[in-house]
Structure 1
Amino acid sequence: MTVQDVMDWTVIPPLLLALLLGAVVGLEREIGAQPAGLRTHMLVAVGAALFTAAGFELGADRTRIAAQVVTGIGFLGAGAIFKEGVNISGLTTAASLWVTAAIGLASGLRLYWAAVVVTAVALAALWLFKVAEANWLPDRHRIRITLTLAPDHALDEVERAAVGTLPTAHVLRIDYAGHDQSIVLTARGDNDTSLSAIAEALRRLDGVQGVEISR
């Protein structure tokens, strides 16, 4: 076996570790039905590890390799972020992709314990975030409501009635153009909130002709 063969084989352990650790983080995202799940995180981790390991073997500047990986992962993370109504989703998944790339970089540099510890910290942060969001941050869950009003119906009457029906609601915008008028509100609504029940309650208000709700 030649020296080159030995060098080739030494690259395998960091790649396998990166693949495993990326799968661990990706599995948590996959269970949460996030846009970037198991396969994406595995590929990010092993790709970052391979770039780093290859540069390490060739004697390239490690900081330049890391900078290129971070730049590339920025574009991928941006693709995981999207807007839904008044909510912005995917920020946590984008951050998990960024951390997964760092885990791959650490694996490629043979910083095995650092990669394992960061994976454990990332999992703890993702889990604690879910617990905190469910129990201590109810205002993070918001729904957007658009009420279409009957022509010439008093806007203030509908506004008071809507806020009375949904105590957590507040008005974002009021549109009035001739006979077309509408009120846009936002209100608290977690994943267990029945949107159809809210729509039905608002539809019964005097002057309301249409209801549109989105998370």
Structure 2
Amino acid sequence: MEVNDLEWVLERRDMMSIFVSVICGCIIGLEREYNNKSAGFRTIILICLGSTIFTIVSQHGAGSDDRIAANIITGIGFIGAGVIFKDRLSVLGLTTAAVIWTTAAIGMAAGIGYHALAFTLTIITILILSLFMKIESLITLIHNRKLLNITFVNDDIRNLYTIEKFLINKQVKNKRVSLRKHDKILHVIIEITANNRQLHELEEEILVLPYVKSYS
């Protein structure tokens, strides 16, 4: 095969890789956009496409090795870190960061010419994001863990004991996470484990407790 023919074959393969990358990015991006996630349609497509382009370049560069591929993983790690938000008690965005990392891996698979593998991984990713979400919803119906942030009307410690006894009487597992006092007002954070029905009943009953000023 002549050099020009070989270059034409490689170029056509690379164009197919780019096309596959965009399609895979579209599929995952649509799911993220539909669920209104921070990394949406365009972002996911560009992550997938960018990973494919860098992979293609690493294959054609003179004396190329795996350093570009390794740097893709590092760079995607920085992007993923940017969508993770941590407050005092919880962490948000871990799934989105994982999707970004997985999308980059799919883009790399497309870049080396494993088109069938890229499509297969895309379908698996969508199944995990959609089907497993429904499984998680079913689990929360019977076993749900939440944090109650309660502010009492004063700093009387007996109010804390009363609310803990109240939860025990409701047969709700509870664990004190944080306790603080500010401006003569007591604040407590309690982790509770219950089913959805119990949680709804608790929300209504805590609202009318005279020693509770506010809660969330």
**Is this a same-fold pair by TM over 0.5?**
yes
CA 1:188–1:40: 2 relative to 1, 3 Å: farther
**Is the 8 Å Cα contact of residues 81 and 90 (structure 1) preserved in structure 2?**
yes
Distance 2:193 2:86 in 1: 17
1:158 and 2:163 are equivalent in the alignment: yes
Compared with structure 1, are the counterparts of its residues 153 and 112 closer, same or farther at alpha carbon in structure 2 (3 Å cutoff)? closer
Aligned equivalent of 1:21: 24
- Residues 148-179 of structure 1, C-alpha deviations (whole Å, 9 max, x = no match): 23243623123323554682543212224683
Greater alpha carbon shift after TM alignment, 67-76 vs 105-114: 105-114
Query: Which residue of structure 2 aligns with residue 186 of structure 1?
Result: 191
Q: Report the counterpart of residue 119 of structure 1 in structure 2.
A: 122
Q: Distance in 1 between matches of 2:198 and 2:11?
A: 55
Correspondence for 2:153:
149
- Letter paired with 1:207: Y
What are structure 1's unaligned runs of at least 5 residues? none
Aligned twin of 1:44: 47
* 1:124 Cα deviation from its structure 2 partner: 1.6
Q: Select the residue among 197, 204, 207 that pairs with 2:208.
A: 204
Kindly provide the CA deviation profile for residues 34-91 of structure 1, in whole angstroms up to 9, marking residues without a partner as x.
Answer: 1112111100000011111122222453421210100000011111222356332211
State the Cα deviation string for residues 5-33 of structure 1 (Å, max 9, x = none).
83555532211210110111111122222
Post-superposition offset of 1:3: 3.8
CA separation of 1:122 and 1:62: change in aligned 2, threshold 3 A: farther
TM-score by length of 1: 0.80
CA RMSD of aligned residues (A): 3.2
CA distance in 2, matches of 1:42, 1:193: 42
Q: Secondary structure in 2 aligned to 1:110?
A: coil
Helix, strand or coil: the match of 1:136?
A: helix
SS in 2 for 1:11: helix
Q: Is the 8 A contact 1:27 1:37 kept in 2?
A: yes
Identity %: 27
- 2:178 aligned to 144, 167, 173, which one? 173
Q: Give 1:191 deviation, angstroms.
A: 9.8
Correspondence for 2:105: 102
Write the distance in 1 (CA, Å) between the matches of 2:196 and 2:113.
Answer: 42
Q: Does 1:64 align with 2:53?
A: no
Q: Aligned AA for 1:158?
A: I
* Alpha-carbon contact 2:172-2:194 (below 8 Å) kept: no
Question: Quick check: 1:142–1:190 contact (8 Å CA) kept in 2?
Answer: no
Q: d(CA) in 2 for partners of 1:18 and 1:148?
A: 55
Q: Which region of structure 1 is more displaced relative to structure 2, 68-77 or 129-138?
A: 129-138
CA distance in 2 between counterparts of 1:98 and 1:167 reads 38
Is the CA contact 1:41–1:100 (under 8 Å) kept in the aligned structure 2? yes
Work out the number of aligned pairs and report it. Answer: 210
Deviations 1:125-166 (A, max 9, x none): 222320221112555652442222324362312332355468
